[in-house]
Structure formats: C-alpha cells, structure tokens
Amino acid sequence: MSETAVACNICGSSYTLPEDEAGGNLPHVLLCSHIFCSTCLRALESPQNVITCPECQRSAILESIRWMDTGIGMEGVDGLEVDSRIIGLIYTARMNTKKGVSRHSGDRWKSQRPKSPPSSAAVHTQENAEGRPDVVKVLDEALGKATENLNRLDKIHKTLSNGIHAQLRKERTRIIREIDEAVDKAKSALLKRRSMLVSKLSDVDHLFSDGRKECKKIEERIKELQTAIQKARHVRQVPSLETYCNLDEILKTLHIPVDVQSYDMSSMSLRSGLSCSLQMDSLVDSLRNCLKITNDDDDCILEEVTVEPFQHVVKSGVEVWDSTGQAVSANADPIPKKKSACRPSFIEEIMEDPDTSSEIVEIVVHYVMATHIVSPGHFYVRYMMEQRSGQKLNKKVNEFCSGDSSLFTFSDEIKTGSMLFFCWKEDMWCRVTVTELFQRECFQSVTKCLASEVSRLSIYFQDYGFAKGISIPSDGGLSMLNECLRRPDAVTLAEINGWAPLAIRCSLKDIIPADLLRGWSLEATDEMRSLLGSEAVEMQVFGEDGDALLVDLKKTPMVSLREHLVFMELARFYSPIVAPGSAPLLFYSSVRPALNVEVNAMVSHVNTPSDFYIQLVENMEYLLLHSKLQDCYSRPNANSEFQIYCPSLSQACIARYDQEWCRVQVIGFPGGRMVEVRYVDFGYRKTISVNDLRQIKDEFFALPEMALWCSLNDVVSPQETWSDEACTAFKELVERKLITVVAKKLVPGTRPVPVCLYEIGDDYTGASIGEILVRNGLAVFSKQTQIKDTQPMETTVWDPPFEEETLSVALPPPPPASEELQPSLILPTCLKDIKVRVTHVTSPGNICVQLLQFDSQLKRIHDMLKSLFSKSEPQEILWEAEMFCAANNTGVWERGQVCSVSTNGVAEVLRCDFGTKVNLHVNNLRPLSPDLIGSFLLECNLSGVRPAGGRSTWTATACDFISHYLTGAMAIMTIKDPSASPVLVSLFCSNRAGQNVSFADFLISEGLALKERKAASVSETVFSEECVLSEKISEPQRLMSASQTPPTPTPRINPPPERVQTHSYPPPELPLCGHTLMSISAISEQGVIYAMTHQAVCEFDRLRERLQQHIKTLPRQKNYNWKGVLGCAVMGTDMFWYRGQVQEVIGGHVKVQYVDQGLVESIPVCHVYPMVLCEDVPQLCVPCQINGVIPIGNGWQWDAVVLMKELLLGRSVDVHIIEHPEDPCGCVKVEITVDGMALSRIMVHHQYATFDPAISSQEDYVVKPPVPDLDDWDLNTEGLEEPQPVLGVYKELQISKARKHFPAKVKHIRTPNEVFLCVLDKTLCKQEQGESLEEALKRVNENVENLSLLTDFPIEATVKGLENGWMFFIVRLCAECPCLAEYSDGKYYRAKLLGFSELTPSVKLLVRHVDFGSDDIIPTHK
C-alpha cells in the first residue's frame, strides 16, 4: 500500500490510533466508498447530520453520482464505519517499528530515512564528495526536506482548488435561493393586490341590476304561463273541474302574445368603462429599489434589476435547508445569518503547522449553559456555539424596538400564542409568547382583546425557558404597556420567526426523585442550580422524550450530574417495579351479561373474530366518569400533581388516547422509560412514555372495566389463524357500531366470553355476524355446533309457545302470517320467570309491562295499522272519551283510547300497548275496527312492600326513584296473584355485577319502602306452585290443591314510639354592622331572608363533606316520638346529609328547616334522623328582615315573597347590616341593594309595603351633603368659594284618587305596559308662585352659553369580590341625579342621569328626559 494510503486526501494528515492521541484520527468510510479522517468529516458535517463527499461533488459536474450524501446517526462521525485495512497497516507498521527499535537501536536514523533508487547523478556526487562527508549529509537532509515540502504544497493546492469550487457552488446556490424567495414574496404581494382590485368590482354588479330585474320579470311570466297550461290540461281531461277555476282568465293568459320589444335587452351590451393597466416604468423603478443584491455592509452590488433575469433562474443541485428556508453550509450557525465569502474552517486547520495540528484535534462535544431549572427532570439550556447568533438576534430585536413602529395603538389586538417583545432589562428586549391574557373587568382569561384593555398577561421567554406574569395598571393605558411590551410588524415577525427558540428543554436521563410520592424536592433543584451556576458545562444527548432531550451534564471536576444527585441521595436511577411489595389497587372486572339475554353493546376494539372487546351501552354512568376524568386531569397543574415517576406492574393509571384521558393498566416494560398499557375501557394496548402516565384518584375506581373480552361463539377460522381478509370484514361489520350481544357460555375470567353478535336492523331480529362470515367463506362453524345441529330437538318446553327457540345461533324468525292474530294479552300457563319490558311506571303500585313473548304479535298489529291508515285521510268523526282509535304518534300507528278532547281539536290519548298518555290532534286519529281492539299491556303492583313512614300512599321520592330505574328496563317477573287488579308481581332486575336482585328488596334497602308482613293469600300459594306442577298434575288435582288451608298468621305487635330529645344547633355568628357582600340562599313564606357570607359558603362545602363521614349508610328506621326533637340530620333529594331543625310533624312527614341554608321542606320520616351533627359549627345562614318598611297588612303577601325570590335567590348582593337583634336567633335588620336600587324602595314601589315613618322617610334617599366632621370652631371663611348647592330630586305628580278621568297626551311609548303621559289639566298640577316651567326653560335656552357644564357626577361603589389579593368594585352613578340635557330639537330640557353608556374613546351618558319619558345617549358637553 502506498504512502498516501495512510494519509487523508483533504488535509494530508496521517491516520492515527486512539492510543497515540486523545481521540485518534481514524479513517472513516462514506457510502460512496471514499475515505477521509475524523477531523475533516466533522468539518464537513452539516446541522442536518448529513456529510457531502467532496470527491463526489467534483465528479457530479461531469456525471450523475447517486451516493453523494451520507447521513449520520446520534453518535456523529464516530458512528461511521472504519476502514480495517488502513487500521491493520498502521498497527503492523507500529509493531515493526517497535521491533526495529529493540533490535537495531543504533541504526534508527537509517531505518527512518526514505529509501529511493539512487540515480547516476547521486552516485557521481557521492564519488566526488568522499572527501567531504559533511556536505553530502547536509545536501541529503535539504533534499529530503524539499521533497516533503513539495508534496505538502501539492496537497494544499489540490485541497484549496476543490474547496474554492465547492464554496463557490454553495454561494451561488444560496443566492439563487434567496432570489427565488424574494420573487415569491413579490408574487404574494401581487396576488394580494389582485384580490383587493377584485373586491372593488361591486359597482359592476350594480350596473346590471336592471338586467336582472328584466330576467326576474321574464321568469314570473314563464311561471304564470306554465301554471295556466297545467290548469288547462287538467280541465281538458276532466271537464267538471271548470267549476273550480276561472276558465276565462286561463284562456286570456294562454293567448297573451310575447312582445320582444317590451323587454329591455340593452344590458347585453353594457360596458362599465373600467380597465386595468400595468405601469411598466413604475414597476421597473420599484423593482430596482426593492430587489437588489447587497454585501455585509449593505452596499449594493447589482443595481440594474429587470424582469428578464427572473425567468432564467435554474434550481440545480441538492442542497440542505433549515426550517426557515435559508441555505446553511456545513459549518454554519444554527441560526440563519448572512454569509460572507470566506474560506472553510478546515482549510485554516491545514495551513497550521503539521506538528501542532494534531494536538488541537479533540472530540466534538456540546457545551451548554443552563438558563432555567424547574427540576432535574425539567430544565432549559442554551448551546454555547449559538452565543454569537443569540447576540445578533438581540441586536436585531433591540434595533426594531427602538423605533416607533413597534408601539401599540388603540386598534391593535393581543392574542394568546402571539409573539411580542418584552423589556427584560434596561435596553434589552427579548421575544416572548403570550400564554394567558386577562381583560379589564373580566375575571376569566380571554383569547384576544384590544391592547388598551389588557389588565394582566402571562408570557413565556422562548430563548430562556421561563415564564413571567405582568400586570398593567388601569390608569396607565397604552403608555405603561409600551414601556414593557412591543409588537412586531409583518416583516419583522417573518424575519424573527426564522430563528428557532434558543432555549432547549432537557431532562436528565433515567433519573427519578428519591421520594416518588412527593416528587422532586427543593433540595435537589437547589443542588442542581448550585452545581451548574452560570458556567458552561458539557452535555451528552442520549435521545428524545416528547419535546425534551434526554441528556447528562458534566462539569470539568465533576463526573456526572446524574451520579452526583444519586450519590447525594436526592435522586435514584429509574428501574421499573416488576414485583411490587404490596398488591396494587386494581379495577373491578368487567360486568358480564346474563346467559341468553339480549343486550345492546358497541364493539370498541377488534384484534380477530376470536379476540375483541365490547362496551355495554346500558350503563350511562361511564359517560359521567369520563367527563369527570377530562375535568380533573386537564387542569393546568394536573401534570405536576399526578405525575408518575416509577410505575409498577399491574398498576392502575390514567393516560391519554386521542387527546382524551382514559383509564389504563400497566402490563409490561418494553425497555427504557417506555411502558405498555392496556386501556381497560376500550381494550386496545399501546406503548407510551412514563411521562405520559398520571396517578389515578380513588373515585375513578368506582366503576368496573367497561371493555369486556369476547369471542365469536361456535365460529372458528378455516385455517390455523384468522386471515387478514376475515379480520377486515369483521371490523367493517361490527367496529364502532351498535349491535345486539347474547352471551352463550360461562367461562373463567382468563378466557374470552363466547357471544353471538347480531346486527340491529329495521325489523326485530338482525342478521348473525357469525353466519355472515360463514356465508362469505371467511369462517366455518365449529364441530360442537355441527354435532348440536344434528341432534333432535327436545320435546320439553318450559317457555310459552310464543317464545319457542331452536338451538341454533340465529334468533327465531317472526311467526307466519297464517297464524291466528291475538289482539289482547293472554297470561301464559307458567307464571314464573316471565321476561318483560317495563314501559311506564307511576308508582310501585302501578307498573305497566309488556311480555317479550308477545313482541311478534305486537309487531303484526303495528304493521296492520300501518297498512290500513298510512295513506288514509282524516274523517269527520265526533271523538268522545272512552272511544278506541288508531293514533299516529310521531309517524308510528298505534292503538289508543281517547281520554278527553279539547275545543281546539287536541285529544289526550292513552297508548293501549304502552300505558303512557300523549296529546295528539284529531287529524292523527282513525276509527279502530272491533277485531283490533285490545292491549298487550299488563298493569302490575309490586308485592311484598308497603309505603314507608306509616303512610298509605307512596311518596313522590319513591315514585321518582322507581320510575328512574325501571322505565325502559328489561326484567324478569313472577306473578303472585293474577286475579288482583293490578296484578301482584315480583320484579327482578340486573345490577352492576350482573346479578338479578329483587326490586322490592332494593326499595327496602334504600329506605323508600317497608316490608309487607301480611300472610300469603291462598291464590298466591296456588300460583307459586302451579309453574312446577303444570306438566305433571291434572285439572282436578289442581283444584284440590286450591282447597288447602293456609297457615294462621302471627299476630302483629307494634312497639311504643321511642322517646328522643335533641337540642337545637348554635345560632349563627352575626357579621359586623356595615356593608358586606352576601349570598341569598332562601326566603321563607313570612318574608325572612336567609343570607350567607362568602366565608360561610366555603365553610358549607367543608361541612357537607364532614356530614357524609358521620353517616355513611341509612340508619335503621325506628318509631320515634318527635315532640322533644329540635336538631336533626336530614337526607336531601340529592341523597346527601344536611343539618336540620324540626318544626312540625304531619302524619308520616316532618316539616324540617335546613339550618345552614334556611330552606323549609316536608320530608318523609324515613329520611330524618334525630341526631345533632357537628355541634362546633354554628348555623351558617343569617336570618334578615328589611329595615324601614312595613308590609301591607303587617305581613308579607305571597306575591311579595315571589318577587323577592325572583330578585334575590342565588345572587350575591350588597347588604348593609343596620342593627343586630337582642335574641341571637332573631332577624338582623338590613338594607339590601339590588342593581343599585334599595330593596325597600322596590317593595314600596310595587305597593307591597310602606315606609315606616318612625325610622325612614322619603328624604333619606335624596343625595345630601356629608355632615362635617368638625367641632364648633371659630374659623375664618372669608375668600373661600361658596359651596355648590346640593341637587335634589324631581317631585312626582300627585293626582287625587277621586279623579278617575282626566285629559292627557301621550309623550312616549316604551312598551304596551309602560307609557308616559302629560296631563293637560293644569288644575291637577299644583304650581308654586313664580315663573312657570315653560318660562324657566325659555330663559335657560336663551342663556344656555352661560350655563356651566356638568363635570361632577355623584357615584357610589360597592365591593364585588376578592380574587388573588385584588379587590373589585362596582362603580355606578347615583340614581336620579337631575340635570339639563339637549333634546332632539336642539333645546335643553329637564333630565336625570341614569348611568354611563360609554367610556372609550369618549364618555357618554344615558339620560332620561323627565318631561318626555324618552331615554337618550349624549356626550358630556350636551
């Protein structure tokens, strides 16, 4: 191998092994088979991790080279293949050198000299110089040195030539690319100009408006003529129709000729006179100014730019571009910048001394500086090599922000996610992103608002990684905003977006907190900050996890930051817990449906027809759980609050799927920080990162797994495994569709449930999914199914004939049409375990059900009614009550019975087959034939229970409860007494665990019913045994069994009521006198207002949680004596416990007042428990009464209480506490302000009360000057301005009640119920001595210029709330402030202020002209 084979072709440096130097200079092989050293390859590496071969670049000019670019992985250049031949040659030469040194230590100079064939000149020189050995030695050394220098110069010349050529091509390509981008931007500007010009063409549309009118006129004439032709044809076919139409008018229309001259056709030749022209000279001048090539000093290189060169731009060569579209060379900065004509860096390294060049070659590492540290698992760094680029970015941003173009104006908007510039330090602007935005007078964040309306915002520093909040003072305006924030224009925004964020999010690889429950401690974060500081550290990148890099940081004297944190016991290395010490909490196993029972389900995930998952749709509680999941884990701080650092096998967690949070279970650890999870509510599996897992709260364990593992019953694959075609066809049939599922076998929990799937069609029975697969040749029936089909069918039938089923998989077909139709229900022979459908529930004593075995008969009835009446017309029939009919209810014909008919033709109809009542118009009713009259409905009464609380009727709570659970449900019924009316039955329904439980027992367990203790009747005993003996005994024997004597019932003894005595709850803590914000919780029938402070509302939520912990189950019902009971515990309608106070006992109900809210309800005795709970907490609501008024009749009327409830309930109002009562349980005297109006005045205005003359008067509501808080001092007031007169209020016109009629003039009508009148009878207006109103207004309008403007507005402020340390006020004008205002005729009249209408850009007031009644919005100068 030649001497040049062990040296790089670019730099000429020799290849070395890692043992010789720090990193070695190894020969690496590219994809094109060219070999270069590590140093040169690192210089050629581009930011896109691609190396372009320089040898192939030279050859690419003459021929096409396929492999010119070589991609490198995460290990960089060191990951490329090393040439083993050169390594072996270097190693052999090294070993030979060591051997030569050991054997011939005296001949080292000879062994190292280059051996070349001696020439004749050399021999002659040697002969002539035998006498001068020193000259020969000197000449030999000089010749060897010259030969070495010549070779080196040749290599440098070759490298420089190639480098110049490559750099020239790159520069040309980059400039051409920038020219193309500039042309594209110019094209977009021209397109925008075109859009603007096109939008101005609306005048052209108006030009042809007359033509369109002519077209519409012709269309109307065509329509009229077509109508006349159609009528004429009908009359021609049926001459009797002549009496129903005007034949003369039709003939006149048909004979009207078409006059072409009567239509204006001039629109076809109209011209708008508009045209578009291109000013070529102006365009060339503009291009000469806006499109030019400059150097780094902004000196213009090419001034004459015309349109022609853009047509000859050729995009040649394959170039690497960054995200901004700017060309980047191999050694360019990560941030785009202008390139200067400079030589590559590797040429500078070659020009260095060869002896020292090998010493400065080191392994390329990333040096970074930490900018922000949240925790060792979340911090931000910046690359040191981007420091100069960052300085250029800061310089560009500072230059832009120093100009006025970056200032906000009143029309500018700020949006979340937009980029702004923030003044971080003096003369240092940084780019930030708006993450949260708040508008003035808004408590919730908004997505956008005007810059002048911003009150506070949160920003994120893109180049540093931290966030910050900014508050803008309300009186600062845009000036305060512009001091700290600036906005970029369109050009600057496009340019700045070219710089990627300098802050890189990182996380220490495979490091988790020492305490997994508490997470990262402050000690670990502080230790990391103290170690890193603001110095540059070495960063090693291992990979990515989402948007973060997995790294390790190393400082010069430190081994590793990860190892240091582990050594300090602040962290530990990640290791998944395969075998946890304690058993983790698991989800309840999925509920399996009962055997041979049809249920509706959705197929959530399919692997194969023998491996899929379904979700039962009857359980709607999962939707509530899923909604709570999204609310709980979508909060901003949920990621840090529920973060999981080290999961264990089989652990229950929460994870995302398609942007939604779902329940999952960890099932494996594939490696690294990845886990395999199973979505328990859907069935599919996925591999996700540990950072995507969240801890699950205990409340989400309440429901079992929703996904049920199933397989198709009696259907197998024709091959060993299911084919892709079969799986695809099965998915198309069932995935994400509503189907009917029937479970066929009981299997262990480790095996899928064999089920049969049926499509849901228009008819009652759908097609079997398994049979469809078999018919298509994608599956076959299993052997067990084939054997079962060949066996004879058993003769013993336990179900009635209408419910006969074969043993095949398919559902039974509908009965043939020849079968006799039964219009009414006939009870089956067996009265036990009858499958029914509950259609209507009124109470436990009135339940309407349908027997499923009569569904085929009911369907035939509906089909017959549809065929008879679907195309029939309404008949003139006088409908009366008790008449049977066929009713069209929402498009379905059903049997019904008329209950009543109103005068407007609406009838109340009872649905005979369903039990409910609907209101239908008589046009939807048809007479029903006698052979179709009947009903398949069975009215039932739940046996074995009686109403709770000693009542004879069922409570509304029990009725609502049973109606909620039973309406529309499938149940199993056993008839106890068929002779009773309604029929006594027992109902069994499926619970969450899939077990059938008695609904009567369920009502008893909920405390809504008591067990009936009466002895069973004779008929009940007979029919309970009749189902078992119906096939074995004869009719006479059956009658004999009915004569058996029933057992004697045990006498019932009622124990005496238990005497209980409880004390009342402590009285409420009364707030201090003065103004406070309170929430109105209740208003009693006596007009007592119950209010709660803000602290009481918060305490009520905590108190309710405490009460549920005291009583977790319903106490055992006892017979209490309620005379001594005051305080008690009450179960509300929401099934939560509250504190109450007994007021009265009425039969089986107790009248109770909720002491913490003030509400009064009559509650069944079974829901009241005589126990005082949480005695340390006083009553939370304060009873109040309005001060200063007397109710009409010395008591609030019911309509007055209704008005107060409409105004106050559920609202937070300003309450002025005036006087505390002497009795702690008494009412506090208050004054309540509702929307700026006193509640007492509202009640007086509506004539529900009168003012108390002893306490208040009408003058109390007039704005009075404040009482001076000064002593009676002798003060000199000379020279001081006179105090401004205090404005009063307008006097209302008082008309005597004796005058019932008086002349008036309507001034203004606001609504039909609110009209303003002017009394014309002057005798009714008592005018004082002096000038009249007309004279005074005339005098004012003559000297209006001399009147002073109204500048002081009386306002009042109330506290609205307290949030994050900020107190918010509601400021409004005082009501009825008098003034003079300009009317529409330009003159000034009397008015009063109502409020502020606008504040920006100018203040405008809402006033009411008191002499006209109209409202107007005017500026302050009017």
> Cα separation of 1256 and 1244, whole Å?
12
pLDDT digits (tens, 9 = 90+) for 676-706: 999 998 888 899 888 888 888 888 888 888 8
Tell me the DSSP string of 342-401.
---HHHHHHHS-HHHHTTS-----EEEEEEEEEETTEEEEEEGGGHHHHHHHHHHHHHHH
Q: How confident is the model at residue 312 (pLDDT cuts 50, 70, 90)?
A: very low
pLDDT digits (tens, 9 = 90+) for 6-18: 788 888 788 887 7
Token pair of 1075, please?
């103004």
Beta bridge partners, 438, equal 456
Lowest mean pLDDT among 17-26, 145-154, 268-277, 991-1000: 17-26
Over residues 218-247, mean pLDDT: 82
Higher pLDDT: 989 or 1279? It is: 989
Q: How confident is the model at residue 1215 (pLDDT cuts 50, 70, 90)?
A: very high
> If you average pLDDT over each of 284-298, 802-816, 1104-1118, which comes out highest?
1104-1118
The answer, yes or no, to whether residue 332 has pLDDT greater than 80, is no
pLDDT for the residue 321: 32
pLDDT for the residue 522: 87
pLDDT for the residue 344: 35
Q: How confident is the model at residue 1081 (pLDDT cuts 50, 70, 90)?
A: very high
- The residues, ordered by sequence, that sit 6+ positions from 276 with a Cβ below 8 Å of its Cβ are 197
> Cα separation of 934 and 321, whole Å?
83
The answer, yes or no, to whether residue 1088 has pLDDT greater than 70, is yes
pLDDT digits (tens, 9 = 90+) for 1306-1346: 888 877 778 888 877 766 665 556 678 888 888 888 888 77
User: Given CA atoms 315, 320, 326, 329 in this order, what sign does their dihedral have?
Assistant: negative
Whose tokens are 């250029």? That residue is 392
pLDDT for the residue 1284: 57
Which stretches of 411-487 are assigned E, i.e. beta strand?
A: 413-415, 419-425, 428-439, 448-450, 454-461, 467-471, 485-486
pLDDT for the residue 1376: 65
pLDDT for the residue 197: 78
Token pair of 82, please?
């090393």
Residue 172: CB atoms within 10 Å: 12
Over residues 973-994, mean pLDDT: 84
pLDDT for the residue 362: 37
Lowest mean pLDDT among 61-65, 895-899, 1176-1180: 61-65
The answer, yes or no, to whether residue 205 has pLDDT greater than 80, is no
Over residues 965-979, mean pLDDT: 87
- Cis amide bond preceding 1401, omega within 30: yes
pLDDT digits (tens, 9 = 90+) for 643-675: 888 888 888 999 988 888 899 999 888 877 788
pLDDT for the residue 1231: 92
pLDDT for the residue 1266: 42
- What phi and psi values does residue 28 have, to the nearest 5 degrees? -110, 145
pLDDT for the residue 1021: 40
- What phi and psi values does residue 86 have, to the nearest 5 degrees? -65, -35
The answer, yes or no, to whether residue 938 has pLDDT greater than 50, is yes
The answer, yes or no, to whether residue 49 has pLDDT greater than 70, is yes
pLDDT digits (tens, 9 = 90+) for 528-574: 888 888 888 888 888 888 788 888 888 766 668 888 888 777 888 87
Which stretches of 890-1026 are assigned E, i.e. beta strand?
A: 892-901, 906-911, 917-921, 925-927, 937-942, 945-947, 970-977, 983-990, 996-998, 1009-1011
Higher pLDDT: 393 or 314? It is: 393
pLDDT for the residue 1018: 39
> Cα separation of 423 and 434, whole Å?
14
Over residues 1390-1416, mean pLDDT: 82
pTM for the structure as a whole: 0.33
CA atoms within 13 A on the CB side of 942: 32
The answer, yes or no, to whether residue 891 has pLDDT greater than 70, is yes
The answer, yes or no, to whether residue 840 has pLDDT greater than 70, is yes
Over residues 411-418, mean pLDDT: 89
The answer, yes or no, to whether residue 958 has pLDDT greater than 70, is yes
Nearest to 583 by CA among 508, 651, 666, 633: 651
- Percent of the chain topping pLDDT 90: 8
> Cα separation of 78 and 72, whole Å?
9
- Mean pLDDT for the chain? 76
pLDDT digits (tens, 9 = 90+) for 988-1038: 888 766 677 888 888 888 888 888 765 444 344 433 333 333 433 333 333
Beta bridge partners, 742, equal 598, 756
